[in-house]
Each structure stands twice: as C-alpha cells, then as structure tokens.
Chains A and B, each alone.
Chain A
Amino acid sequence: MKSQKAKGIAGVVALLAVILTYAMLPDSTADYSMIFSIILYLPGFFVLIGLFEAWVSRKFVVSHLGEQSGLKGSVYSFFMGCMIPGPLYLAFPLAAALLRKGISRFNVVLFIGAWSSFKVVEEIFELHFLGPRFLVLRVLLSVPFVIAVAFIISRICFDD
C-alpha cells in the first residue's frame, strides 16, 4: 500500500512536469480540454463506485443481473450502460465491481458494449453533426455486434 501511494505521488509529479513543460513551449498547440474533462469526472465517479460497493447487496445484483435474471437482467445491464455518463475506461472498474457482486458474464460484457456504443449523451452530438440517418443506421447495425461480442467473450473468457 505504501509503495502504491509513492507510485501515485511520483505519477502526479510527473504529470505536472509534463503539463508545465508543454504549457511553457511558445508554440504549444496541445488541447487540454479533454484531460480536464476526464479529471472532472473522477470524484463523482469513484464516489459512485464506493456507494455501489457499500450499499448494493450481492443478493440484489445476483437476482436482478445474475445468471438467472434472464432477458430482463440483460435489458437492465444494457440500459445501465447507456445511461451512466463517462468515458469507456471508467466502465472497467465499475464492471469489475459488478462482477464481484455477482452479475452474469454475458450481462457484464453487454454493459461495457452498451456503455461504449450507445451513450445517450454522445448520440446527441452524433445526431447533430452526422444526421439522423447515419445515427439510426449505425445504432441499428451496432446492436447485433455488441450482443455477439458479449456472447463470444462470455463463452471464451473468465476461465478463473
């Protein structure tokens, strides 16, 4: 735990060093808005994970999203992925927490797939800039692939 913390501090110092170096370059064109938008999400996100781990019981997850939850559990997982905002790599710690609580393998990959492809907030941008025809076609085409990927991974992975 101590070395973990030391690594964390070293990392933060390195990050600050990089940002400062870039900021001081005279013709710096780098855009940091993305980095800030990531960092802004972090506090709320990790509080959400903590609340989830402390408050939601294993029994609840198993009965609603577990192996026996059937189609309803998959639909829940899918819409949960669509609704929670945030970049994809924040879905992974949440998915790991869900797995520890007993979500089924298929549902967890479906959750990640829905998170990546059908984020409600992101579709608004897509609708605006690419138009309804593009959006509807892409979403309709992506759904079967997301389901297929979830099916294949839930069969092959998770040997442990």
Chain B
Amino acid sequence: MLALIFNAIVLIVFLVCYSADKEKSLHALRLSVRSFERIAPIFVVIIIFLIFMQGLFFGDAISAYLEGATGSAGYLLAAIAGAIVHVPPFIASPIAGQLLNSGVNPGYIAALVTSLVMVHTFSIPIEVRELGLKFALLRNLLCLVSAIVIGVIMGVLY
C-alpha cells in the first residue's frame, strides 16, 4: 500500500517535471535505467539469498533464543541476530512487541531493534559498490557496537 502511494507520488513529480521540460525528464529516465542496471545483478543475488534465509531465521527462532538468554550475552545475541536477519518493520515490530509483553529484558529488545534497522549485513555488497568497502565495514561495525550500547542503556532506563 505504502509502496503504491510512494510510486504514485513519484509519478506525479515526474509528470510535473515532464510538463516543464520534456527533454530533461526523458534524460532523467535514461539515468534511472542506468543506475538500476548498475545494481540489478547484486540485487537479484541478494533477493535469492533472502528467500533462502526466510526459512532459516524467523520470528520463532529469535524469540526462542532471546527468551532463554540472560546477562550480558543476551545483548550480544540480540544485536547479532538483528544484524543477520532481515525483516521489514511491519513484521519485526509485532515480534518485538510480543517479546516485550512476555517479559524479555527491554534492553535486549532495544539492541535487537536498533541492530535490525541500522546493521544490514546482507546488503553489504550494495553498500560496497555504492560507497566503498571501508565505508560499508566501518558503518556496520560502528552501528553494531551502537546497538549493544543502546541496548545496555535501555536495560537500565526502561
């Protein structure tokens, strides 16, 4: 639904541009195709990878691990789980909410959610291609550390 609204807005923007300058807007479309062609091969590989991962890690598995976790290992486990798994927010939030209600340490959930949104190991190939290897590794590493620290602080404050 959201994707459709997004596409509709872009279409309106494009039509406005097109009415203002036809040539420039067609040039923009050619640039769109070019940037899509550049990422398409990696993109396809990542989607295939995601399809396989769907069966491996899912909500139940994460819940089982986190409900059993205790102490500082829980923060690490939650952050790493969040880094490996890719689930969109409309699936991740209900799972996290369920964990919170079932009494799991809110710090673990904060580490999981933060790492889930900030650390994307599966899309590192795209990040490397667009912004470089050093950038991708450093950003994901720093974000993983941030997720653990945020989790620990949340555990105290919540």
| Complex interface bits, B120-147 against A, C-beta within 8 A gives 1, otherwise 0 | 1001001101111011001100110010
| Complex interface bits, B9-29 against A, C-beta within 8 A gives 1, otherwise 0 | 111011001000000110111
Q: Is the CB of A11 within 8 A of B45?
A: yes
| Complex interface bits, A148-160 against B, C-beta within 8 A gives 1, otherwise 0 | 1100110011111
Interface size on B, residues (CB 8 A): 78
Known contacts A29-B55, A54-B27, A93-B130; A11 and B3 CB within 8 A of each other: no
Q: Which residues in A have their C-beta under 8 angstroms from that of B135?
A: 153, 157-158
Q: Is the CB of A138 within 8 A of B31?
A: no
Q: Is the CB of B127 within 8 A of A157?
A: no
- Residue A112, interface by CB 8 Å: yes
Q: Is the CB of B158 within 8 A of A137?
A: yes
Q: Is the CB of A4 within 8 A of B41?
A: yes
Q: Which of A30-76 contact B (CB under 8 A)?
A: 30-32, 34-35, 37-38, 40-51, 53-55
- Residue B110, interface by CB 8 Å: yes
Q: Is the CB of B96 within 8 A of A5?
A: no
Q: Is the CB of A113 within 8 A of B118?
A: yes
Q: Which residues in B have their C-beta under 8 angstroms from that of A113?
A: 118
Known contacts A5-B37, A116-B118, A130-B100; A85 and B31 CB within 8 A of each other: no
Q: Is the CB of B51 within 8 A of A18?
A: yes
| Complex interface bits, A119-157 against B, C-beta within 8 A gives 1, otherwise 0 | 101100110111101100110011001101100110011
Q: Which of A85-111 contact B (CB under 8 A)?
A: 85-89, 92-93, 95-97, 99, 109
Task: Please name the residue on chain B nearest to A133 by beta carbon.
Answer: B158
Q: Is the CB of A48 within 8 A of B10?
A: yes
- Residue B35, interface by CB 8 Å: yes
Known contacts A35-B51, A138-B110, A157-B134; A93 and B39 CB within 8 A of each other: yes
List 3 tightest A-B contacts by C-beta distance, closest first.
Answer: A50-B32, A129-B97, A11-B44
21 A-B contacts, Cβ less than 8 Å apart? A11-B40, A15-B44, A18-B51, A37-B88, A41-B3, A43-B7, A50-B31, A86-B6, A88-B123, A89-B127, A92-B129, A93-B39, A112-B139, A121-B89, A130-B97, A130-B100, A130-B113, A131-B100, A141-B150, A142-B146, A157-B138
